Amino acid sequence: MALFLKKNAIRENRIENVGRWPIRMTDFFLVDDYEFPPSRFLEVFYVRSGNFLHETESGTQAVRTGTAIVHHPSSRHVVKQPDQVKLTRVRLLPEWFAADFGSIMGSPDALSLFFAPIWFQLPQESRVQVFTTRNSQQPLLLNLFELLHQCLRTGRHAEPVSRVALLEILILLGDEYHAYWRGGNRLALPGELLKAMELIERSIASGGRLPLKQLQTDTGLTQEEINQLFRKQLGLPLMEYTLNRRVHHGALRLLGTGDPTETISALYGFSDPSQFEKAFEGAFGFLPETYRMKFSVAQGNAEAEVPA
């Protein structure tokens, strides 16, 4: 009786894609150098096995199994001298999590690492963060990546289980980053600001105007003091921040429903569709209908393959 053994060694670079927007996953099996070009999407990499040298504009460092790489739209980065590497990349649209605001704000590390550069206008020292996760957390992260992979492979990219699995990955990685840097990345926001932001989310969800008087009552601040607080902490004045959040909720609606632009515009407090279109294009670089055509889970999206 012949005994056949499966060879696990990687003989040449191989790339496997799964999923569609708003969550896309790619597995890279690498034995030769590989360059990741600049991307306009938020990308999360996780080294599932192997080790290599990781080169960015700021230098080169050795990474191993369990290393996470968070890459905001930025410059290239390169895998060099890979030793039997399996590297998983997840691309995501942060606006897909617009309705998960409470969960994200309750996880300041995830907020700092993944969402602050998108939702706010905060300066970033680096657009690539590299850190090693703790051995005790790696099995949990691997299980979550496998769950997400199974969901995407079976066409469940738009279902809550996929969104929740990815959000849990982001929260766990944010916590690991906090442990790695020993507190250096946490975005601490004053209580008055958090109260104001929560009220803004409620007003957006209800489709009403921003209740400025209630905002002053809840925070104990004048409108000018509130405006200064937003500028100082988030880099945006109050009204611009509120507009930004309305647009993100509108984007989520475009992704998940077939509602007409006029309906979404009215739902989130815009005076007319043209105002929504102008604000939306300023935030995302696309008009609403173009954005929906490219990324919507309700209508399918135009890009059939995940580019490297």
Contact predicate 283/241, CB 8 Å: no
Specify the pLDDT at position 122. 80
Which is nearest to 161 in space by CA: 139, 176, 146, 177?
A: 146
Can you say how many angstroms the Cα of residue 210 is from the centroid of all Cα atoms in its chain?
26
169 in the same domain as 282:
no
Cα–Cα distance measured from residue 32 to residue 27, given in angstroms and rounded to the nearest whole number: 15
Specify the pLDDT at position 297. 83
195 in the same domain as 171:
no
Q: Among 128, 154, 181, where does a domain finish?
A: 181
In the chain, how many domains are there?
A: 2
Establish if 154 belongs to a structural domain: yes
Burial status of residue 173 (CB atoms within 10 A of its CB: 0-12, 13-18, 19 or more): buried
233 in the same domain as 145:
no
| Degrees, nearest 5: CA angle 281-282-285 | 55
Tell me 134's DSSP state: P
Cα–Cα distance measured from residue 84 to residue 119, given in angstroms and rounded to the nearest whole number: 37
Establish if 4 belongs to a structural domain: no
- CATH number, domain containing residue 231: 1.10.10.60
Specify the pLDDT at position 40. 87
Residue matched to tokens 């409108």: 223
Establish if 305 belongs to a structural domain: no
> DSSP readout, 64-120?
-TTEEEEE-S-S-EEEEEEEEEEEEEEEE-GGGGGGGHHHHHT-HHHIIIIIHHHHS
Specify the pLDDT at position 183. 54
Specify the pLDDT at position 8. 56
| Contacts of the segment 284-293: beta carbons below 8 A, 24+ positions apart | 284/95, 284/247, 284/251, 288/250, 288/254, 288/261, 288/264, 289/261, 291/251, 291/254, 292/254, 292/255
pLDDT by position in tens, the chain (length 308): 344 334 456 789 999 999 999 999 999 999 999 999 988 899 999 999 999 999 998 899 999 999 999 998 878 899 999 999 999 999 999 999 999 999 999 999 999 899 998 899 887 666 789 999 999 999 999 999 999 999 999 999 889 999 999 999 999 999 999 888 765 667 889 999 999 999 999 999 988 889 999 999 999 999 999 999 999 999 999 999 999 999 999 999 999 999 999 999 999 999 899 999 999 999 999 999 999 999 988 655 544 333 33
Specify the pLDDT at position 184. 61
Containing structural domain, residue 251: 191-295
Q: What is Dmax (Cα atoms) for the chain? A: 84
Q: Among 129, 150, 181, where does a domain finish?
A: 181
66 in the same domain as 135:
yes
Which is nearest to 26 in space by CA: 11, 41, 4?
A: 41
Contact predicate 36/161, CB 8 Å: no
93 in the same domain as 65:
yes
**Is the CA virtual torsion 95, 96, 97, 98 positive or negative?**
positive
103 in the same domain as 237:
no
71 in the same domain as 207:
no
247 in the same domain as 285:
yes
Please provide residue 269's backbone torsions phi and psi, each rounded to the nearest 5 degrees: 85, 20
Contact predicate 116/60, CB 8 Å: no
Establish if 2 belongs to a structural domain: no
Please provide residue 80's backbone torsions phi and psi, each rounded to the nearest 5 degrees: -125, 145
164 in the same domain as 214:
no
30 in the same domain as 163:
yes
End-to-end CA distance of the chain, in Å? 43
269 in the same domain as 248:
yes
